[in-house]
């Protein structure tokens, strides 16, 4: 029996709490969160804003009452203000002290706010917590125009929601492209497909930056580095997140090179009996063993599970591991899917010397099922491998077909370290409603093999 | 430059012909088929019968004219009647002799016709070639009832077509279940779901056999071993196929233990300069290295490719291999998908001694995406592993969710020989429209790991 205290209520925290209690019903498991709710799907917010999910309450995974029933106590509106490892206690709201045997930090991340003149103003939002989603949905109903800063996947998901609301949308992105995990030519193809489905409402401003917000109390527009003045009803900043680490740092817990809490593959921090999971931690990128920072719900859930298992175990019983990430991602814009895993060709190229690889790629564009079937989709597939060893390094799949399946298969192959020669012998299931006899993924693999052999 | 003769015009043959010409435009490539057409998708026939594919011509992949343009000569209505390896010639229609440098046999399979009294009669069909499909579609329009002998996936695909045509359907199956590749409880679940969507039109007769056809010239019904007399307008026999080997056997080409042409992983037969690919050959089952016989379009295409590459190469350049099959399959019945790969638990159990494994399984039933999304599907996932080594042995996935993706991922893991511990670290892409944060496949893996560890 242990007293396990968990801080954080979004994804990793609730997962860890439920698991810790299930593993040993004698454990005392308490979850503290600064928010006024617990266990919700932040990833679902764009779908709530776009009306796909009708009610925000649908995004609540588990209520405090349900946790209570399973023996986990939830403490809302409890902000952790101090961790005292030498006493094995935590202080909430500067007043309430709680002791622990094991402490699991799932304290998440904070949205990045670029340094922009005249910030903050009313009607400038992030999209991080439930309340952000509610506010954005509310304003989007009556507004006529919006500025989105950033062109990652939150931006893409918001674009669909805002096009449905018939808003004029300006997307301002510092780099030359959308979704930096994609190679330039794939990203450009995504941009074109997004504009094609944009009903003329979307304008992209690449290689530009907001230098000043216009407005007095309320947001009225932006001035950009390239000299544009854009007026709009509201603004969403979606340029990513940074790990939330301040209380951990103050407590002497080691912070890693990417700015997140450093954990080993058992989810141990540098301080005994303190574990961490989710957006507040750094991860290891499986293909290169480099440290990366990826704030994703899947990672949070898996890490939360591992932290709970190991925190519940006796010292000698700590065996569960979280081995790292592949950077697998997927998102959707109307009928168009965008997915990737592993390294892009450009990121692989930038690592040529560091990990001694010679990246090479093939790209194919193919129907995603038998050509005579109705509702046939098209997929553009880019497969990247090391031409020296043949090892697969990554893939990008975009289009109206089932990109999810193809990227999932490559993720599985990456995890196993398959070479392209092994990969093209994959025996994938076939029937006309699901794929072509030779799956487009294998066509990409054949092509890549040919390039390597020639 | 070589003179490459290919016999067979459905899947492996056309693939081999196109590849052999592309590899070296100086090659003389001729394809002979006994049929009056070439290069069509037999797998699409149920969808033509059900009206999903409006015109039978849609199933033609490539016309003889298109082949001609790419430099491949097609000879229709040419039945191979003799192979003379010592002269390196082939005889067609007992009269025309053609010489070869390399001969690729893609002579396919023949439908199994069980020994039944009073066979043949008019209106008893197989579903093998285009003409079969045209005849079945024609009669299904006016008929009121049908007997299907066999309950494999051709039967399932026909069931959907016939339910749409409002036919009363009797399915007579020798064994206790549908789709023998599935374990009993999964198969029973599929049967129930098929009946649920059957509009009361389907009756299954398991553990029964047709012993006699009723009718004089024309099919009128069947008598079964269990004493049933069933009257219906037509009958489809769908109990599988056997490799077509007679001319190969006569020519002294070795036939393997499963009754197909024995080939090595280069697609070489026992006779020099004669290759074989597709339904006429046996394959190696990757997880056990046993010889199996699987007649599937994907296998035919891949083998045709490998045969063409190696037949075109100089002796020392023969390197391309076809490593074997996993038995991956998928089919669909309205919105319900049925997919499997590798070994079932029962087939694994029957091999316990032979390959020294202790099979164990987990089954979960889960939503296939975030619970708050619309059009959510349900998946039943059974995952099978060896409890001694942890190696994954197979999986079965059925339901209204994306079964294809999950089986494709397991097929990839099987190919790589992943253990369950490795498998549960898969980093699959996640977004609410595509899956739950922890994919149901991983939930099945966690459960299986727990069972193995306990």
Burial environment of residue B327 by CB neighbours within 10 A (0 to 12, 13 to 18, 19 or more): buried
Q: Which domain holds residue B263?
A: 3-35+76-108+242-316
- The number of folded domains in chain B is 3
| Chain B closest-CA separation from residue A349 CA (Å) | 23
pLDDT greater than 90 at residue B354:
no
For B404, the closest of A297, A325, A405 (CB atoms) is A405
Catalytic residue among A10, A43, A106, A189: A43
Residues B77-105: tens digit of each pLDDT: 999 999 999 999 999 999 999 999 999 99
Please write the tens of the pLDDT for every residue from A189-240: 999 999 999 999 999 999 999 999 999 999 999 999 999 999 999 999 999 9
Q: Same domain, yes or no, for B365 and B447?
A: yes
Contacts across the A-B interface (CB distance below 8 Å): 210
Same domain, residue pair B335 and B435? yes
Residue B59, in any domain of the structure:
no
Q: What is the pLDDT of residues A4-22, one digit of tens each?
A: 999 999 999 999 999 999 9
Residues A430, A334, single domain; the answer is: yes
Q: Is A43 a catalytic residue?
A: yes
Is A47 a member of any domain? no
Answer yes or no: do A292 and A385 share one domain.
Answer: no
pLDDT of the residue at B67: 95
Residue B447 CA, chain-centre distance (Å), reads: 31
Cβ distance A59 to B372 less than 8 Å, yes or no, reads: yes
Query: Can you give the pLDDT at residue A239?
Result: 96
pLDDT at A264: 97
Window 392-421 of A, Cβ < 8 Å to B: 402, 404-405, 407-409, 411-413, 415-418
Q: What is the pLDDT of residue A354?
A: 84
Our CA dihedral for B298, B299, B304, B307, rounded to 10 degrees, sits at: 150
Q: Is the CB of A298 less than 8 angstroms away from the CB of B430?
A: yes
Residue of chain B minimizing CA distance to A154: B431
Confidence of residue B270 (pLDDT cuts 50, 70, 90): very high
A259's torsion region: left (phi>0), alpha (psi -120 to 50) or beta? left
Angstroms from A170 CA to nearest CA on chain B: 24
Q: Which of B110, B111, B90, B92 is nearest to B101 (CA)?
A: B90
pLDDT band at B135 (very low <50, low <70, confident <90, very high): very high
In a domain, A60, yes or no: no
- Picking from A281, A316, A351, the residue at the C-terminal end of a domain is A316
Nearest to A409 among B301, B329, B408 (CB): B408
The mean pLDDT of chain B is 95
Q: Which of B316, B340, B356 is the last residue of a domain?
A: B316
The pLDDT value recorded for residue A315 is 77
Q: How would residue B319 be classed by pLDDT, with cut points 50, 70 and 90? A: confident
pLDDT of residue B254: 98
Tell me what pLDDT residue A317 has: 79
Nearest residue on chain B to A372, alpha-carbon basis: B58
Instruction: Select from A239, A260, A282 the last residue of a domain.
Output: A239
Asked if residue B70 is part of any domain, the answer here is: no
Identify the closest residue of chain B to A50 by CA–CA distance.
B373
B337 and B398 Cβ atoms separated by less than 8 Å: yes
Same domain, A277 and A353: no
Question: What is the spatial distance between Cα A304 and Cα B325, in angstroms, rounded to a whole number?
Answer: 38
Assign B454 a pLDDT band (cuts: 50, 70, 90): confident
Token reading at A402: 């089932």
Q: Is B241 within 8 Å of chain A by CB?
A: no
Q: Residue B349 in 3-state DSSP?
A: helix
Is the same domain home to A246 and A235?
Answer: no
Q: Which residue stretches of chain A have pLDDT < 70?
A: none
Please say if the pLDDT value at position B32 is more than 90.
Answer: yes
> Best of B431, B439, B443, B446 to disrupt the A interface by mutation (most A CBs within 10 Å)?
B431
Residues A25 and A97 in one domain: yes
Report how far residue B22's alpha carbon sits from residue B31's, in angstroms, rounded to the nearest whole number. 14
How far is the CA of B437 from the CAs of A422, B372, B432, B442, in angstroms?
A: 29, 12, 8, 10
DSSP code at position B178: S
Partner-chain residue, chosen from A298, A416, A429, that has the shortest CB–CB distance to B341: A429
Q: Where are the alpha helices (DSSP H) in B143-202?
A: 153-164, 184-196
Q: Point out the residue among B53, B296, B412 whose CB comes nearest to the CB of A413.
A: B412
As annotated, the active-site residues of B are 43
Residue A222 belongs to some domain of the structure = yes
Q: Identify the CATH number of the domain in which residue A281 sits.
A: 3.50.50.60
């Amino acid at each position: 029996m242990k007293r396990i205290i968990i801080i954080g209520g979004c994804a990793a925290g609730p997962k860890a709490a439920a698991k810790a209690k299930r593993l040993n019903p004698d454990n005392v498991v308490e979850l503290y969160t600064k928010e006024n709710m617990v266990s919700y799907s932040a990833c679902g917010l764009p779908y709530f804003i776009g009306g796909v999910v009708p009610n925000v309450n649908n995004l609540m995974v588990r209520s405090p009452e349900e946790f209570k029933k399973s023996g986990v106590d939830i403490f809302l509106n409890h902000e952790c203000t101090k961790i005292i490892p030498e006493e094995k206690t935590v202080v909430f709201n500067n007043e309430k002290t709680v002791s622990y045997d094991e402490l699991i930090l799932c304290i998440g991340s904070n949205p990045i706010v670029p340094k922009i003149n005249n910030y903050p103003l009313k009607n400038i939002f992030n999209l991080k917590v439930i309340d952000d989603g509610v506010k954005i949905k509310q304003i989007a109903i009556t507004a006529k125009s919006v500025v989105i800063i950033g062109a990652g996947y939150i931006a893409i998901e918001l674009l669909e929601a805002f096009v449905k609301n018939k808003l004029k949308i300006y997307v301002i992105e510092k780099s030359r492209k959308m979704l930096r995990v994609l190679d330039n030519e794939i990203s450009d193809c995504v941009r074109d497909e997004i504009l094609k489905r944009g009903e003329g409402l979307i304008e992209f401003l690449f290689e530009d930056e907001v230098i000043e917000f216009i407005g007095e109390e309320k947001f009225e527009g932006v001035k950009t580095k390239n000299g544009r003045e854009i007026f709009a009803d509201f603004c969403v900043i979606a340029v990513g997140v940074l790990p939330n680490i301040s209380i951990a740092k103050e407590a002497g817990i080691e912070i890693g090179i990417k700015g997140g809490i450093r954990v080993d593959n058992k989810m141990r921090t540098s301080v005994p009996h303190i574990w961490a999971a989710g957006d507040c931690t750094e991860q290891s990128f499986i293909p290169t063993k480099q440290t990366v920072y990826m704030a994703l719900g899947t990672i949070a859930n898996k890490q939360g599970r591992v932290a709970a298992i190991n925190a519940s175990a006796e010292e000698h019983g700590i065996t569960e591991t979280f081995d790292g990430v592949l950077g697998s991602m997927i998102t959707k814009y109307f009928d168009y899917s965008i997915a990737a895993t592993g390294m892009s060709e450009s990121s692989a190229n930038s690592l040529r010397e560091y990990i001694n690889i010679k990246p090479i790629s093939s790209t194919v564009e193919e129907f995603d099922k038998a050509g005579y079937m109705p509702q046939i989709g098209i997929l553009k597939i880019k497969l990247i491998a090391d031409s020296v060893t043949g090892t697969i390094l990554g893939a990008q799949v975009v289009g109206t077909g089932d990109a999810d399946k193809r990227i999932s298969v490559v993720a599985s192959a990456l995890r196993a370290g398959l070479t392209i020669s092994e990969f093209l012998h994959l025996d994938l299931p076939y029937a006309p409603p699901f794929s072509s006899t030779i799956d487009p993924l294998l066509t990409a693999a054949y092509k890549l093999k040919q390039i390597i052999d020639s």
